[in-house]
Structures are given as structure tokens and as C-alpha cells.
Chains A and B, each alone.
Chain A
Amino acid sequence: MITTGATRRAVLRGLLAAGGTLALLATFAIHPAHAAQPGDDPDKNARWQDFREGMFKGRPVDTHGDAVIKLDAPARAADAAVVPIAIAAQFPQTPSRYIRKLYLFIDENPEPYGGSFEFTPDSGLASLETRVRVEDYTFLRVIAETNDGHLYSAVRFVKASGGCSAPAGKDDAAAEADAGLVRLQPQGRTVFGKPQLVQLMVRHPNRTGMAMNQVTRLYSSAYFIRKVQVTYADKPVMTANVNFSISENPNFRFYFTPRANGELKAHIEDTKNRQFEAQVAISSQPGAQQSTSTTP
């Protein structure tokens, strides 16, 4: 039985890549007997150390990054499969200084790396709200990379259990058939030159592949949104590379800065290579911007 974290993660990634049935998971001891505690030192977590080494290769991460990035998450998750998190950038994006990437890491999840979100000066504010799955009591981290290459982190401890292995409770076939409906909605009044909040919602099971389907006695295959590209006037404003760490029916709230009338577009891809699009016309005229169109 495979028990080391690093080996198990490697195998899980391989299985994820294969995308096939994950019956082997039944033999894995996924959960340690001892839970992480809020009083633990977040820097000492072995999985975080592995990831930091692999992703940042010895570059220092400033753990007192409050002036750059803040993270909000509930101390006790109401629902482990739907944990709302809010990442708040602490300064506006400008061409000379901006946050170019956010990394999301959930220490005790079977796949701890939740993905990355890329921003540009046109993003206005590199803030992001979404909902994630949390498998066990854990530190949840966001690492912000600024355009000068510096790294800053913010951490929260979340108590939750079973978010990755608990299914939606709806039947897989129905959830797949519904997948792909997209809503792209600016929130509030558009003022050119000011960051505008947007909400992007995608109907999708965003399955982990860790919930067993009793009928087939197999684990449902992992099936999730892996890429989101949002552009305004054909320039990127938010690009997400994500996985099943994001909850069912992914919901993202983020910003962009409109400077003239134009189109906000979202292009979404999932692990079956299905593609979904939405676009909305942005203008400073009141009443003109709440329309959304979707192409499932």
C-alpha cells in the first residue's frame, strides 16, 4: 500500500492525466490518522515545503505579505465541498507595479495545488473570490507573485472534512448533460478607468474522481474545468488554470478595467476538451450591460 505523500501525489497526478477509472484509489490510505491543527506552524507543513521547492525553487516567499495580498476563508467550513474564499489584492494594478499571478494551495487536500490565476495591468485589481473543496482540517494558502518576481503569501486555517470525496448527490449523467451553461455578469455600474467587478458562473460537476459510483463500483472519472480565459477588448484580464479543487458549479468573482466600450469574453475548457463561451457588451450607458449570452 502506497503511503508516502509525494509518491501518492505523483500517482494521483498520473491517474488524473489518464482520466480513467480510479478504482486503485480504494487501496490508498488517503487520510492521515492525525489531523492538522490551527496551532501548527504553517511553514513546517511537509506538503507545502515540497510544493514550494518544486514551484519556486528556493525563491524566498514573504510570509508577512499583508501589504500585497490578504486571504479570507471561514474558520469552520459550513460545507466542505463549497468553502468560499476571498483573495484581496492590497494595491491597484498599474503598468509599473502589478500582481501577475496567484497560486492556490490547500495543504491537506489529496491534490493540494488548486491552480493559478494570472492577471495583467488591465485587470484593475488582482482580487479573486471563488469556492473550493477542503478534504480535511488544513492550512489554505495563496501566494502572490508581483511583476518584479517577488513572492508573498497569506494563510488561513480551515476546519472541514470530506469535501473532495463527497459527491454532489445528483446523478453523474444528469450533471454532465447540464454542464456548460455559462453566466458572465458585470456587477454594478461601469465607470471607464475604474476596476469593474465581474461574476463568472459555469454549470459543471467539477468532479474530483474520488467519489465512488456504487452502481458501477468504480470511481466516477475526474471531470472538471481546467482553463478559464477572460479577455476584454481582446486583451487578457484573468486567466485561470484550475482543477477539481474548485467546487461544483464554479463561481469566480474578479475585476477588469474598461476604458472604452467593448466586449468582455470568457472562454472555458474542461478535461473532456469541451469548450464553453460567453460574452457581454460593456458600455458606460446605464442599462446596457446586464445582457449575457451563452453558447453551451
Chain B
Amino acid sequence: MARRALRHLLLAAGLLVAFAATAHAVTALKVTQIVPGLYVHRGHDDVATRANGGDIANIGFIVGRRCVAAIDTGGTAAEGRALRAAIRAVTPLPVCYVINTHMHPDHILGNAAFKGDRPQFVGSAALAEAEASHAESYMRVLHRELGALADGSEIIPPTLAVNGSMTLDLGGRVLKLQTWKTAHTNNDLTVYDESSGTLWLADLLFVQCIPVIDGSVTGWLADIATIRQMNPRRVVPGHGPIDTPWRDALDAEEAYLSALARDVRAAIRAGKTMQQAVDTIGLDERKKWRLFDIYHQRNVTAAYAELEWDQ
């Protein structure tokens, strides 16, 4: 009798350990609480590789009294799960909003990890279309570059669309969401945390990592001027260190973009072809920016295609 009871006890204990093991099987993403209740994870300054698992963007969450808003979810479902574990490590409150700041895969492909929470997925009114048109290409490259690390990743478009501005309340914590003139993309969305005066700029601000133009260089320069006028207390950039004084970071980004626009305009006026512009413009910026070799020529191409009709 005692032996059977012992066996049952051991079995139960074994099951408990197994259950506990699976519950803690996901390692929580490392996050920094930069102001009370606002947590940011610093991604790798790199392109998505197997070594970094596609974790290449700054993402995070904001905690209110009633619920939590995730802001971007990372490059894979696995990273989304790690973000969710980081939220759980800090609060048991439900995730009521998953906000995607724009369509790029490093910001949205963790959404699947939050399906069970049944949050509102929030994004720009232009986000769903942008995601749908790039979906096939994003998923193909994702699986090619990350293999099994990408398993379970899917694009989950917004259930709540922002066109202009929108206010969300997490329970005594008001977030003001805002869409922008086409800049980094045509579906950029920022989140302003009123309690702390923190403006989550996401990819409207790149720090040390080269800004990537997948929208409009002139629109981006106009948006930078608006951001300056908003004069937030703190900002969260989409890539790069999260503690750089924001005015310096914005100045550096503006300097890169305005020099690019100026040099491309001059090249067009001088009758240079797109390839000639791509081969010669902005090469002296190389040491100032990470991932310059990957993205700078693309920026020149984008600026040239945009500005050649301006002349």
C-alpha cells in the first residue's frame, strides 16, 4: 500500500516538475524598465541571422492598472513568446493591445505568440495592405534565412486601425497613437505614453544603425521637424541604443537624410544615372553608421526614384 502511494506520489511529483518545466521553458526576453511600467528590449544591430534568431529591433511593452500593451513583437513567433514571458515575469495583467508600429518583419512576426490573449492588434490604417502585399516575400526570406527558428511565425494584421490619431487607456495610463506622413514606410505609427512623456518613435528614429528609407526621404525630413516640436521627455528608437539623448540622435539622422536628398538632387541635375548616383553618393558616411554596406545604396536608389520627378 505504502509502495503504491509512494509511486503515485512520485508520479504526481514528476508530472508537476514536467509541467513547471514546460511553463518555464520559454526564456523571458531581457528588458529594461526605462520609466516605471515601460519596458524596452534592445535588439541586435544586425540583419536577421540564425545566430540572432531575427531579434534585430527594439520592442517592448507598457503596463497600466488594467492591462498591458505590447509595442511590436519581434522577428519570429519564438521572440514573441519570449516577449510574452517577459511581460508575465513582471505582471499577471492581460495583454489587451498588441501595437505594431509598421510592417517590417522584425517588428511584427512575434504577433502569433499573443493570439491566445485575444488582444486588439493595432496599427496604421495603411498597415494591413502593406503587410498583405509583402507577406509572401517576407515569409519566403524568413524561412530561407532562419529555417526552423521561424516556425509558427505568421502575419496577423490589425483588428483596430489608426488613421490620424487614437487614444488607448490601459487603466490610468493613457497612450496616444499617431500616424505620420510617409517616412520610413507609408504606415508608420508612434505611441506616446502620456504619464511619462515618452514618445515611442520606433523606426522613425534609428540610432547608430543606418536609417532605412522604405517610404520617402522628403516625408521623413518633414516628420523629423514635427517630432522636434513635440519635445517629448524621452523617446524609444526602433534600432540602436535606447539611452542616447534624443535630440543628438535625431540630429544625426536628419543630417544623413538631408545630405542624401541634397546630393541626389545635385546628381539628377548633373545628368547622372541612378547607378552612378548609387556608386558615388554618401560614401564618406560609411564609418558613422552600422549596416551601411547593406542599406545605404538602397537609400540612394529610393531617394533618386523619389526626387527625379521633383526637378
Bound-complex Cα distance A251 to B274 (A): 10
The reply to whether the CB of B182 lies closer than 8 angstroms to some CB of chain A is: yes
Interface: A86 (CB within 8 A)? yes
Which of A84, A211, A212, A214 is within 8 Å of B274, CB to CB?
A: A84
Task: Tell me the minimal C-beta distance from A184 to chain B in angstroms.
Answer: 14
Complex CA–CA separation, A170 to B131 (angstroms): 14
Q: Which residues of A contact B182 (CB under 8 A)?
A: 169
Q: Tell me if A's interface is mostly helix, strand, loop or mixed.
A: loop
Measured between beta carbons, the chain B residues less than 8 angstroms from A212 are 129, 132-133, 135
In angstroms, how far is the closest chain A Cβ from the Cβ of B272?
A: 11
B121-157 contacts to A (CB < 8 Å): 128-138, 140-141, 144, 157
CB distance B133 to A211 under 8 Å? yes
Q: Mark B76-90, 1 if CB is under 8 A from A, else 0.
A: 000000000000000
Known: A188-B271, A201-B308. A161 touches B136 (CB 8 A): no
Chain B contact surface mostly: helix
**Which A residues, 239 to 270, have Cβ-Cβ distances below 8 Å to chain B?**
247-249, 251, 253
In the complex, A212→B135 CA distance in Å? 10
Q: Which residue of B lies closest to A163 (CB)?
A: B137
Flag if B278 contacts A78 (CB, 8 Å).
Answer: yes
A84-B278, A251-B308 known; A162-B134 Cβ under 8 A: yes
Instruction: Evaluate contact between A84 and B132: CB separation under 8 angstroms.
Output: no
For B157, B278, B301, which residue has the most chain A Cβ atoms within 10 angstroms?
B301
Known: A78-B298, A79-B302, A253-B273. A213 touches B308 (CB 8 A): no
Given the interface contacts A35-B144, A249-B305, does A187 sit within 8 Å of B297 by beta carbon?
no
B186 at the interface (CB under 8 A from A): yes
Task: Tell whether, in the assembled complex, residue B309 and residue A201 are in contact, meaning their CB atoms are under 8 Å apart.
Answer: yes
Closest to B276 in A: A84
Q: Which residues in window 153-189 of B have CB below 8 A to A?
A: 157, 182, 185-186
- Closest chain-A Cβ to B25's Cβ sits at a distance in Å of 30
Is the beta-carbon distance between A129 and B273 smaller than 8 angstroms?
yes
Task: Out of B130, B185, B275, name the residue touching A72 (CB < 8 Å).
Answer: B275
Q: Which residue of chain A lies nearest to B279 when distances are taken between CB atoms in the complex?
A: A74
Judge whether A165 and B137 touch: CB under 8 Å.
yes
Q: Which of A165, A170, A203 has the most CB of B within 10 A?
A: A165
Whether B137 lies near A166 (C-beta < 8 A) is yes
Which chain B residues border A13 with CB–CB below 8 Å?
Answer: none
Interface membership of A55, Cβ < 8 A: no
Q: Are A31 and B275 in contact (CB under 8 A)?
A: no
Shortest C-beta distance, B228 to chain A (Å), equals: 25
B133's partner among A31, A161, A167, A201 (CB-CB below 8 A) is A167
Q: How far is the CA of A213 from the CA of B128 in the complex (A)?
A: 9
Does A141 interact with chain B (Cβ within 8 Å)?
A: no
A166–B309 Cα distance when bound, in Å, is: 21
Determine if B136 and A74 form an interchain contact, defined as CB atoms under 8 angstroms apart. no
Residues of B within 8 A of A86 (CB): 273, 275
Q: List 17 A-B contacts (CB under 8 A).
A: A31-B136, A78-B278, A79-B301, A79-B302, A82-B301, A82-B302, A84-B278, A131-B274, A161-B141, A166-B137, A203-B309, A212-B129, A214-B131, A214-B132, A249-B308, A249-B309, A253-B273
Instruction: Give B contacts to A, CB under 8 Å.
Output: 128-138, 140-141, 144, 157, 182, 185-186, 214-215, 271, 273-275, 278, 297-302, 305, 308-309
